[in-house]
Amino acid sequence: MKYQRKIREVVRCPIENGLKVFGGKWDVRIISTLETCESLRYSQLKLYISDISDTVLSKTLNKLVSSGIVRRIDFHEIPPHVEYTLTEKGSSLIPIIRSICSWSQKNCSGEAEETDLLLQCEKCIYLNPEKKQ
């Protein structure tokens, strides 16, 4: 018998619903990386986001695939491999992510350690468009 919640979860706010889909800690970094590189294998994605564990990367990718944000492409070759790419739905998030980045840059300066901010921002394609390959 399948477990059923006693209290039904009700999402009444579109923002809350959107954050359920792509508001996880790693979601935006995965989406941004796939937008930069267009198509990546799991191991390549892991290189770009080196501070994520394999378990979390796998779970987050599965969530993004099931939400229709990321497409998983299976290549039936020997050796077999899989690539991940953004769907049209996933690509539609890019302007939102850029807006959040811009807002944060204008309104949150000084709240993070400058060195932490620079380490992350060196890789950021929104702050460094020349990084886009």
What would the pLDDT profile of 54-107 be if each residue is shown by its tens digit? Answer: 999 999 999 999 999 999 999 988 888 899 999 999 999 989 888 888 787 777
Q: What percent of the chain has pLDDT over 90?
A: 35
Phi, then psi, of 119 in degrees rounded to 5: -60, -45
The CA distance from 67 to 82, in Å, is 18
| Residues in CB range of 27: below 8 A, 6 or more apart | 60, 63, 64, 69
Instruction: Name the one residue in this structure whose structure tokens are 């006693």.
Output: 6
Provide the residue ranges of all domains of the chain, joining segments of one domain with +.
16-131
Handedness of CA 100, 103, 108, 113 (dihedral sign): positive
In the CATH hierarchy, which top-level class contains the domain 16-131?
Answer: mainly alpha
